[in-house]
Amino acid sequence: MPNVYVDGPPMDNDKKRTMAQAMSKTASEAYGIPEQGIVVVIRENPSTNVCVGGKMICDFRAGETED
């Protein structure tokens, strides 16, 4: 059973359903197996837990500029 992992910011359940359906359909087509054989795991990460270039994403969103 293929697993698809998505790491991203928190989102509402309707958006998660839509994403899971789209990912399942795409993976099903790529693997040539039924969508029921695809597992999608959505891991939500708040911007305070993700850093790029040593800076927290929440700081970029707050208008902080790079040094």
Longest dimension (CA), the chain: 49
Q: What is the DSSP letter of 53?
A: T
pTM of the model: 0.77
pLDDT at 63 over 70: no
pLDDT tens-digit readout, 24-61: 999 999 999 999 999 999 999 999 999 999 999 999 87
Fold (topology level) of 3-61: Macrophage Migration Inhibitory Factor (3.30.429)
Asked whether the CA dihedral 23, 27, 32, 35 is positive or negative, the reply is negative
